[in-house]
Amino acid sequence: MFDNFQGSGIQHFGFKDVGVGRATLRQLNDAIQAAGARSYMEVVSASPEACLRSAEVAAELGVSRLLGGTDVSAMLAVLAGTGIEYFPAPGRPEGHPVKLAGSLAQIVDDCKRFMDMGCAGVDLLAYRATDVEPLDLVRAARAVVAPGGLVVSGSVSTPERVRAIREAGADLFTVGNAVLDCTYVPGERSALAQAKAMLADSRA
């Protein structure tokens, strides 16, 4: 699947830490980096123990960036000396599919704390928030997160949302099903065309 997106202009590619074996993850990560792109691994597991195992896998694979998890001190300790940039999840990610609990003040305080701890940025589940308006959350996080460090994840699935988070200050966003299931551009059956349309909207 990754081969289909080479030459698209996209310079950031990611994968989750579940679903396939370690050898497949290593092969994919190596292919992404060999193509000159940044590789991202997203933590899916919820328990602190599972998140630490994910950090260990990220360190073993040598990914460029690790997204997710909330036990920041322990995750940073695992990643120390690897050069991997860490983007933890502020607030309280809960359930499956994940929702983001927490007030605006609580989530922004987490963002500040994570930056003070030396994280590269945050992985903000803005459109999964249960108690805060998504764009209010993006704008508030933008005020405290270092340039380049604000990643918005989850349910970024329409051109309107891509443009809105860009205007609110997001640096990057993650996308999966909207491209792979070809729902971002209705009627377009090529995942590559879907990705190119999303890339154009993010830059417009």
| Residue 97: per-residue pLDDT | 81
Q: For 132-176, write each residue's pLDDT tens digit.
A: 999 999 999 999 999 999 999 999 999 999 999 999 999 999 998
The two counts, helices (H) then strands (E), for the chain are 8, 9
Calpha distance 190→113 (Å, rounded)? 41
What pTM did the predictor assign? 0.94
Token match 């205007």: residue?
167
Closest of 66, 55, 1, 9 to residue 28, by C-alpha: 1
Closest of 173, 101, 111, 167 to residue 140, by C-alpha: 111
Calpha distance 126→146 (Å, rounded)? 17
Q: For 49-78, write each residue's pLDDT tens digit.
A: 889 999 999 999 999 999 999 999 999 999
